[in-house]
Amino acid sequence: MDASIKKIIARYPDEKSAIMPVMQHLQRENKNFLNEDAMEEAARVIGCSKSKVYGVATYYTMFNTQPVGKFHLQVDTCVPGFLHGADAIVAHLEKKLGIKSGETTKDGMFTLNRVQDLGSCATGPVIQVNDRYFENMTIAKTDALIEALKSGKEPENDPSMTVISKCGILLNDRTQKDCRTIAFYKKNGGYQSLKKALTMKPADIIEEVKEAGVRGRGGAGFPAGMKWSFLPKNDSRPVYLICNADEGEPGTFKDRQIMEFNPHLVIEGIAISAYAINSKKAFIYIRGEFNWIADILDAAIEEAKKDGQLANVDIVVHRGGGSYVCGDETAQIESLEGKRGNPRVKPPFPANSGLYGCPTVVNNVETLSSIPFIIQNGAAGYKKFGNTNNFGPKIFGVSGHVNKPGIFEYPMGTPLKEILEASGGVKGKLKGVIVGGLSVAILTAQEAENLILDFDSCVKAGTALGSGGIMVVNDTVSIPELALRTIEFYHHESCGQCVPCREGSLVIEHKLHDLVHGKGKMEDIDLILHLTANIKGLTLCPTGEAFAVPIQAMVSKFRPEFEALVKR
Amino acid sequence: MSKTIVINGKECAFDGNKTVLQIARDNGFYIPSLCYHPKLGPASKCRVCVVEVDGIRNLQTSCSLTATDGMIITTDSPRVLDAQRMVVNLLLANGNHNCMICERNGDCELQEAAYHLGIELPAFIVEEREDKDESGAFIVRDVNKCIQCGRCIEACNRLVVNEVLDFGFRGGHTQVVCDGNKPMGESTCVQCGECVQVCPVGALIEKKAIGKARSWEITKIRTTCPYCGVGCQQELHLKGDQIVRVKGVEGAKPNDGHLCVKGRYGYDFIYSKERLTTPLIKKNGKFEEATWDEALDLVADKFKQIIKESGPDAIACVSCARSTNEDSFYMQKLFRAAIGTNNIDHCART
Do B244 and B225 lie in a common domain?
Answer: yes
Q: Structurally, how many domains does chain B consist of?
A: 4
Mean pLDDT of all residues in A239-257: 97
Does B173 sit within 8 Å of A498, measured CB to CB?
no
Rounded Cα–Cα distance for residues B144 and B204 (Å):
11
pLDDT band (50, 70, 90) for residue A2: confident
10 Å CB burial of residue B275 (0-12, 13-18, 19+) is exposed
Three-class SS state of A457 = helix
**What's the pLDDT at A252?**
98
Do B142 and B192 lie in a common domain?
Answer: yes
Rounded Cα–Cα distance for residues A182 and A203 (Å):
28
Cα torsion B42, B45, B46, B50: sign: positive
Contact of A496 with chain B, judged by CB distance below 8 Å, is answered with yes
Best residue in A16, A44, A345, A497 for a mutation probing chain B (most B CBs within 10 Å):
A497
Residues 6+ apart with CB under 8 A from A244: A218, A285, A327, A329, A332, A362, A363, A364, A365
Do B265 and B302 lie in a common domain?
Answer: no
The residues facing A317 across adjacent strands are A284
**What's the pLDDT at A168?**
95
Residues 6+ apart with CB under 8 A from A405: A121, A122, A123, A161, A162, A398, A399, A423, A424
Three-class SS state of A444 = strand
8 Å CB contact between A456 and A389: yes
Residue B67 sits in a domain of what CATH number?
Answer: 3.10.20.740
Rounded Cα–Cα distance for residues A161 and B307 (Å):
102
H helix or E strand, kind and range, residue B346? strand B344-346
B72-112, pLDDT tens digit by residue?
A: 999 999 999 999 999 999 999 888 888 999 999 999 999 99
Residue A479 has pLDDT above 80, yes or no: yes
Mean pLDDT of all residues in B25-48: 95
CA dihedral in degrees (A112, A118, A122, A128; nearest 10)? Answer: -40
pLDDT band (50, 70, 90) for residue B23: very high
| Residue in B91, B163, B179 nearest the CB of A499 | B91
**What's the pLDDT at B113?**
97
Rounded Cα–Cα distance for residues A280 and B235 (Å):
55
User: Is residue B152 one of the residues assigned to a domain?
Assistant: yes
H helix or E strand, kind and range, residue A268? helix A263-276
Task: State the SS3 of A471-488.
Answer: EEEECCCCHHHHHHHHHH
Q: How far apart are the first and last CA of chain B?
A: 51
> What class, spelled out in words, does domain A479-563 have in CATH?
mainly alpha
Helical H segments across A218-262, by residue range = 224-229, 255-261
Mean pLDDT of all residues in A176-203: 97
Q: Cβ contacts (< 8 Å) between A507 and chain B: which residues?
A: 90, 93-94, 124, 126
Does A531 sit within 8 Å of B168, measured CB to CB?
no
Determine how many CB atoms are found less than 10 A away from the CB of residue B184.
25
Rounded Cα–Cα distance for residues A266 and A301 (Å):
10
Interface of B with A (CB under 8 A): 42-48, 50, 57-59, 61, 64, 82-83, 86-87, 90-91, 93-94, 123-124, 126, 147-148, 157, 163-174, 177-181
Could you state, in order of their start, the residue ranges of all structural domains in chain A? 3-59, 71-150, 164-382, 394-472, 479-563
Provide the CATH topology of domain A3-59: Arc Repressor Mutant, subunit A (1.10.10)
Rounded Cα–Cα distance for residues B31 and B52 (Å):
12
Rounded Cα–Cα distance for residues A14 and A8 (Å):
11
**What's the pLDDT at B284?**
94
B213-267, pLDDT tens digit by residue?
A: 999 999 999 999 988 888 899 999 999 999 999 999 999 999 999 999 999 999 9
Does A504 sit within 8 Å of B177, measured CB to CB?
no
The residues facing A74 across adjacent strands are A113, A128
User: Is residue B11 one of the residues assigned to a domain?
Assistant: yes
Residue A127 has pLDDT above 60, yes or no: yes
Contact of A66 with chain B, judged by CB distance below 8 Å, is answered with no
Do B24 and B63 lie in a common domain?
Answer: yes
Rounded Cα–Cα distance for residues A82 and A479 (Å):
12
State the count of interchain CB pairs (< 8 A) between A and B: 133
User: Is residue B119 one of the residues assigned to a domain?
Assistant: no
Mean pLDDT of all residues in A137-146: 97
Residue B204 sits in a domain of what CATH number?
Answer: 3.30.70.20
Mean pLDDT of all residues in A277-292: 97
Tell me the pLDDT of chain A averaged across its residues: 97
H helix or E strand, kind and range, residue B204? strand B204-206
Residue B349 has pLDDT above 90, yes or no: no
Rounded Cα–Cα distance for residues B86 and B32 (Å):
13
User: Is residue B269 one of the residues assigned to a domain?
Assistant: yes
Provide the strand spans (E) within A192-302: 239-245, 279-286
User: Is residue B115 one of the residues assigned to a domain?
Assistant: no
Best residue in A16, A49, A51 for a mutation probing chain B (most B CBs within 10 Å):
A51
**What's the pLDDT at A154?**
80
Q: Which amino acid is at A378?
A: G
Write down how long chain B is: 350
> What class, spelled out in words, does domain A71-150 have in CATH?
alpha beta
Q: Give the domain-ending residue among B196, B211, B226.
A: B211
pLDDT band (50, 70, 90) for residue B321: confident
Nearest alpha carbon to residue A366 among A275, A281, A469: A469
Task: Determine how β-strand A386-387 pairs with β-strand A390-391.
Answer: antiparallel
Mean pLDDT of all residues in B341-350: 85
Rounded Cα–Cα distance for residues B241 and B94 (Å):
38
Q: What angle do CA B114, B117, B122 make, to 5 degrees?
A: 50
Mean pLDDT of all residues in A13-27: 97
**What's the pLDDT at B123?**
65
| Residue in B45, B126, B177 nearest the CB of A51 | B177
Q: What phi and psi, each to the nearest 5 degrees, are found at residue B284?
A: 55, 40
Determine how many CB atoms are found less than 10 A away from the CB of residue A273.
28
Do B190 and B234 lie in a common domain?
Answer: no
Q: Which CATH architecture has domain A394-472?
A: Roll (3.10)
Contact of A50 with chain B, judged by CB distance below 8 Å, is answered with yes
Nearest alpha carbon to residue A265 among A362, A192, A346, A353: A192
Q: Which CATH architecture has domain A164-382?
A: 3-Layer(aba) Sandwich (3.40)
Kindly indicate whether the ipTM for this predicted assembly is greater than 0.90, answering yes or no. yes
10 Å CB burial of residue A456 (0-12, 13-18, 19+) is middle
8 Å CB contact between A475 and A428: yes
8 Å CB contact between B209 and B103: yes
Helical H segments across A128-177, by residue range = 139-150
- What is the share, in percent, of chain B residues with pLDDT greater than 70? 97
Determine how many CB atoms are found less than 10 A away from the CB of residue A178.
10
pLDDT band (50, 70, 90) for residue B124: low
Residues 6+ apart with CB under 8 A from A15: A9, A46, A47
8 Å CB contact between A111 and A97: no
User: Is residue B96 one of the residues assigned to a domain?
Assistant: no
Three-class SS state of A315 = strand
Provide the strand spans (E) within A21-101: 71-76
Three-class SS state of A159 = coil
Q: Cβ contacts (< 8 Å) between B172 and chain A: which residues?
A: 491, 494, 496, 502-503, 505-506
Tell me the pLDDT of chain B averaged across its residues: 94
Q: Where in the sequence is the domain holding B296, given as residue range(s)?
A: 280-346
Do B236 and B308 lie in a common domain?
Answer: no
Buried/exposed code over A194-225 (b: 16+ C-beta within 10 A; e: otherwise): beebeeeebeebbbbbbebbbbbbbbebebbb
H helix or E strand, kind and range, residue B73? strand B72-74
